[in-house]
């Protein structure tokens, strides 16, 4: 089978999968992920004016608050205005393009929606033709899921039944429920002993590994002593010189009145050098940092710290008891208003989902923090309700935070209302 024939079969298979998809979501998934078998690319995105960024290759669900997704929502309207037909994208027209995407992009309009593919190589004419033909099938599949609602006023006979249905729906919608939000969570140390750098310098060696059990007084890490040893040796030599000068003047004062006046000065200088040498000896003792309490060592990879310069007071690691834990959760920005101090928190651990851990919210950060996944979230801390049930440090799960009692209609439509208000501005 020739490469051209193989590519044709791939195109027909992909077109069939698009046209037989069961939902718009499935169409979007096939378009951004499976098209790679037909035309190689590094990243693909699908956007529509209503749903914004619907799908991104390699992601199950794009985070609407992620900086990359917010940037795409600004770029796609400009691409739609510039390209009415499938065409290569001039990335130089977008100042931030190089920070997020490869240099060569190809934009395919899908009616009001848009499909963007990017990679490091330029797009060949045959590839552009294949993507244009595939776009026709994608647009047709998406149109098939658009339904026009039909509304017809009921007759006089059916009005009473309709009123009963409306009343029943109204009663259901005002039924009180407890509002709740979900957030990723893990067990962290409740009262850790923070180990900080005692001096300015560089870390020479770390004696423990992350999560190693340590005893009180056990060596944790040492700072580099090269600079201090050099200063101490110089101070000792200066002390020896000052001592010799002092002894010489003390002996000469018996015969030389002028030497007698220098004795007090030389003695002070000798004592100063002795104090400096003693102080440097005490500093050398401080470079050996030991565990302030028994527990486990909590820090990043030890190899990342070797040779790293630190300043006095900088946190290097912590020592925490393995079961002296509390819950730390990261609340999405959109759900921050539902959390209250003292609210009930239920943690479903990944290792034991059928045995939830109960806690009470004790702190809520006033400012959102950037997470490794690119989103923003508020840090939440919760104290465990049962002192006897304390999962070990580092266990992860999902936390449910209960809020106020609200009508069911508010619980159902809170997120859509927030989206509408952010979109239209009232």
Q: What is the pLDDT of residues 155-203, one digit of tens each?
A: 555 677 777 788 888 887 777 777 788 889 998 888 888 899 888 888 8
| Pair 118, 97: CB distance under 8 Å | no
Residue 380 reports pLDDT greater than 70:
yes
| Pair 327, 359: CB distance under 8 Å | yes
C-alpha angle 309/313/315, rounded to 5°?
70
Residue 211 reports pLDDT greater than 90:
no
The pLDDT value recorded for residue 105 is: 92
Secondary structure letter of residue 10 according to DSSP: H
| More reliable by pLDDT, 336 or 183 | 183
Residue 95 reports pLDDT greater than 90:
no
Name every residue whose Cβ is closer than 8 Å to that of residue 38 and which is 6 or more positions away in sequence.
7, 10, 11, 14, 130, 134
Q: What is the pLDDT of residues 104-128, one digit of tens each?
A: 999 999 888 899 999 999 989 888 8
| Pair 35, 116: CB distance under 8 Å | no
Most confident of 78-92, 137-151, 364-378: 78-92
| Pair 135, 117: CB distance under 8 Å | no
pLDDT band at 409 (very low <50, low <70, confident <90, very high): confident
pLDDT band at 256 (very low <50, low <70, confident <90, very high): low
DSSP SS3 for 36: helix
The pLDDT value recorded for residue 45 is: 92
Provide the whole-model pTM: 0.45
Torsion angle defined by CA atoms of residues 127, 129, 132 and 138, in that order, rounded to the nearest 10 degrees: -70
The pLDDT value recorded for residue 173 is: 77
**What percent of the chain stands above pLDDT 70?**
92
| Pair 327, 384: CB distance under 8 Å | yes
C-alpha angle 414/415/417, rounded to 5°?
65
**339, two tokens:** 């959390």
Residue 147 reports pLDDT greater than 90:
no
Out of 238-247, 248-257, 359-368, which region has the weakest mean confidence (pLDDT)? 248-257
Q: Where are the domains of the chain?
A: 3-143, 182-190+321-405, 193-220+293-315, 225-286
| More reliable by pLDDT, 417 or 259 | 417
Most confident of 146-150, 216-220, 234-238, 272-276: 216-220
Give CA 262 to chain center in angstroms: 67
Residue that is written with structure tokens 């912590």 in the block? 318
215 φ/ψ sector (left φ>0, alpha ψ -120 to 50, else beta):
beta
From the CB of residue 282, how many other CB atoms can be counted at a distance below 10 Å?
8
| Pair 332, 339: CB distance under 8 Å | no
- CATH code, 3-143: 3.30.450.40
For residues 70 and 259, give the distance between their C-alpha atoms in angstroms, rounded to a whole number. 82
Q: Which residues of 160-198 are buried (b: 16+ CB within 10 A; e: fewer)?
A: eeeeeeeeeeeeeeeeeeebbbebbbbbbbbebbebebb
For residues 300 and 203, give the distance between their C-alpha atoms in angstroms, rounded to a whole number. 14
The pLDDT value recorded for residue 331 is: 87
| More reliable by pLDDT, 51 or 107 | 107
pLDDT band at 92 (very low <50, low <70, confident <90, very high): confident
For residues 56 and 128, give the distance between their C-alpha atoms in angstroms, rounded to a whole number. 20
Most confident of 145-154, 290-299, 386-395, 398-407: 290-299
Average pLDDT over residues 375-393: 86
pLDDT band at 259 (very low <50, low <70, confident <90, very high): low
- CATH code, 182-190+321-405: 2.40.30.170
DSSP SS3 for 63: coil
Average pLDDT over residues 209-225: 88
| Pair 55, 116: CB distance under 8 Å | no
Average pLDDT over residues 233-243: 84
HSE toward the beta carbon, residue 162, CA cutoff 13 A: 8
Average pLDDT over residues 55-62: 87
**17, two tokens:** 């999968």
**What percent of the chain stands above pLDDT 90?**
11
The pairing of beta strand 104-110 with beta strand 309-310: unpaired
For residues 421 and 426, give the distance between their C-alpha atoms in angstroms, rounded to a whole number. 5
Residue 348 reports pLDDT greater than 90:
yes
Q: What is the pLDDT of residues 365-378, one digit of tens each?
A: 888 888 767 778 88
pLDDT band at 152 (very low <50, low <70, confident <90, very high): low
């Amino acid at each position: 089978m020739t490469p051209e024939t193989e590519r044709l079969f791939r195109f027909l298979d992909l077109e069939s999968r698009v046209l037989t998809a069961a939902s718009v979501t499935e169409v979007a998934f096939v378009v951004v992920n499976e098209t790679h078998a037909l035309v190689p690319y590094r990243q693909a995105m699908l956007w529509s004016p209503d749903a914004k960024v619907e799908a991104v290759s390699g992601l199950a669900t794009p985070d609407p608050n992620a900086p990359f997704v917010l940037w795409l929502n600004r770029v796609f309207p400009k691409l739609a205005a510039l390209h009415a037909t499938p065409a290569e994208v001039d990335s130089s027209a977008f100042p931030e393009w190089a920070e997020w995407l490869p240099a060569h992009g190809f934009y395919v309009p899908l009616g009001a929606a848009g499909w963007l593919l990017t990679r490091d190589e330029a797009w060949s004419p045959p590839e552009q033709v294949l993507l244009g033909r595939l776009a026709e099938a994608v647009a047709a599949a998406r149109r098939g899921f658009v339904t026009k609602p039909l509304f017809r006023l009921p007759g006089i006979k059916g009005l009473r039944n309709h009123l009963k249905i409306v009343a029943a729906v109204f009663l259901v919608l005002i039924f009180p429920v407890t509002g709740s939000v979900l957030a990723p969570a893990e067990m962290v140390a409740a009262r850790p002993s923070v180990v900080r750098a005692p001096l300015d310098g560089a870390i020479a060696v770390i004696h423990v590994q992350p999560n190693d059990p340590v005893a009180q007084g056990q060596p944790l890490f040492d700072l580099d002593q090269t600079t201090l040893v050099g200063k101490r040796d110089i101070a000792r030599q200066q002390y020896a010189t000052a001592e010799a000068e002092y002894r010489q003047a003390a002996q000469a004062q018996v015969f030389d009145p002028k030497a007698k006046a220098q004795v007090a000065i030389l003695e002070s200088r000798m004592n100063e050098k002795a104090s400096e040498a003693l102080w440097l000896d005490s500093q050398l003792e401080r470079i050996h940092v030991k565990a302030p309490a028994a527990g486990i060592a909590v820090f990043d990879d030890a190899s990342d710290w070797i040779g790293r310069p630190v300043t006095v007071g900088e946190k290097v690691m912590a020592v925490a008891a393995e079961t002296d834990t509390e819950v730390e959760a990261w609340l999405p920005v959109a759900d921050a208003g539902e959390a209250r101090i003292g609210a009930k928190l239920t943690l479903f651990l990944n290792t034991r989902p059928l045995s939830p851990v109960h806690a009470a919210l004790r702190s809520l950060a006033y400012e959102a923090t950037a997470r490794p996944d690119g989103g923003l979230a508020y840090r939440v801390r919760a104290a465990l309700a049962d002192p006897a049930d304390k999962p070990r440090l580092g266990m992860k799960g999902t936390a449910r935070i209960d809020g106020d009692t609200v009508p069911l209609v508010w619980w159902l439509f809170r997120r859509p209302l927030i989206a509408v208000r952010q979109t239209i501005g009232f």
